[in-house]
Amino acid sequence: MGLLALVLGVVAALLAVALWRERRELGRLRDWAAQPRLSDPPEGEGVWGEVFDHLHRHRRANLRRRRRLAELIVRQRRAAQALPYGVAMLEAGLRLDWCNRAAADHLGLDPERDRGQPIANFVREPAFVKYLDAGDFSQPVRIVRGSERTLALQLVPFGQDEHLLLSQDVTGAERLEAMRRDFVANVSHELRTPLTVLSGFLETIRDLKLDADRVRDYVALMAPQAERMKRLIEDLLTLSALEHSPPPPAEERIVVRPLLERMRAEAEALSGGRHRITLSVEGAHDLAGAESEIASAFLNLVSNAVRYTPEGGEVRLVWRSGEEGAEFTVEDTGIGIAPEHIPRLTERFYRVDRGRSRETGGTGLGLAIVKHALARHDATLAIESTPGKGSRFSARFPAARLLPVEPDPVAPEGRARAAGR
């Protein structure tokens, strides 16, 4: 019995020691696992060392996966923020979960303050409400925010009762489409009148037996209409060339003085002695660019001044150049323009007085040509006008477009010797 008791006591002591060690290792495992940051595992005895090593490897692998996932989420958020389109994530009930900066700007959202709110609380335009009620999201819907911004919105289902709300600012596209429609309508209208006149006279000549003098009279009436269509087509081709041609060469020199002299001669020819035409040149600079484009712009300004100045008026052509830039100004003592029309003068086919424009032979494209030609040379058009007193149109060129006038290749001594011979 004494020996058995001794054996049992030893076994109990060994079990107690083993249990103490197990509890110590469990406590070390608990303390290590409770640490907020990953650290090296404690040194374990026997199988506990293997357990610590395995857990440490799994913990490190899990941390790497979590870091990769977090980096992926951050990258996706950054990519979504960089998109030029609005993206809003909507939870069940079309409630806002997240949105990028573009969507916040388009829809007036605050990603933090408005989170969890129904999107219909912020986009209340009737077209969008009807779009939500219909439940057909295969096509976007267009709404007008404020007075000028047009947005295209589309809901894209994903996940479990979740949606993406995509938004795009299509204001520019809408304006271009409106301009295209107006352009087609205006061209059709401008061509219809002369074509109607030509068709009427041709039918008359064909169907009636007319003497030679009457035929010549009809042909004389038809000629201006044909000329009008020709000018319109030429201006359309010029405008198209300006819009689609490569940039003008920066190394090509436009010798300004001969160009201005030519403009004065054109003005005098168009005036036919009915106006006083003057030219003033100040500064010794030429321009860099395409001469044909600048000549077209200058000629349109000059011809407009002559056409809209009554007989006995004055048209002044002024060129000034210096270190800060250059300016070609056309001033007249004509009928002037009301202030409300000035911002729209460079629009295609825009006319202050449509009937008077036709009488003077204008196509309605002249100032649009001027605007595009100057823009291609980094220049701008400034317009000042007072009804009944006259107008001033100024083409302003930056200093970067100026070139010093080249010296005369024949020096004074050379000219003197040539005169002596």
Q: Residue ranges of the domains in the chain?
A: 79-169, 173-243, 248-404
Higher pLDDT, 287 or 227: 287
Rounded CA gap, 268 and 280, in Å?
A: 15
CATH code matching the domain that covers 79-169, chosen among 3.20.20.70, 3.30.450.20, 3.10.130.10, 3.30.450.40: 3.30.450.20
Q: Are 45 and 18 in contact (CB under 8 A)?
A: no
pLDDT for 32 equals 66
Higher pLDDT, 413 or 152: 152
CATH code for 173-243?
1.10.287.130
Write down the mean pLDDT value for the chain: 84
Place of tokens 């009488």: 359
Max Cα separation, the chain?
159
Q: Please determine, looking at this structure, whether the domain spanning 248-404 carries the CATH number 1.20.140.10.
A: no
Label the pairing between strands 95-99 and 86-91: antiparallel
Helix intervals (H) in 34-100? 47-82
The top-scoring range by mean pLDDT among 314-318, 334-338, 355-359 is 314-318
pLDDT for 1 equals 63
Kindly list the distances between the CA atom of residue 170 and the CA atoms of 131, 149, 165, 284, 305, in Å, as whole numbers in the listed order: 18, 8, 16, 47, 38
Confidence of residue 358 (pLDDT cuts 50, 70, 90): low
Rounded CA gap, 275 and 303, in Å?
A: 12
> Residue 52: which of 31, 78, 71 has the closest Cα?
31
Kindly list the distances between the CA atom of residue 161 and the CA atoms of 118, 134, 139, 325, in Å, as whole numbers in the listed order: 14, 16, 19, 63
Q: What is the pLDDT of residues 396-405, one digit of tens each?
A: 999 999 999 8
- Residue 70 confidence (pLDDT) above 50: yes
Q: What is the pLDDT of residues 18-40, one digit of tens each?
A: 677 777 767 766 766 667 666 66
Rounded CA gap, 302 and 45, in Å?
A: 101
Average pLDDT over residues 332-361: 78
pTM, entire model: 0.58
Average pLDDT over residues 353-365: 61
Q: Are 271 and 319 in contact (CB under 8 A)?
A: no
Q: Are 224 and 266 in contact (CB under 8 A)?
A: no
- DSSP string covering 362-397: --S-HHHHHHHHHHTTT-EEEEEEETTTEEEEEEEE
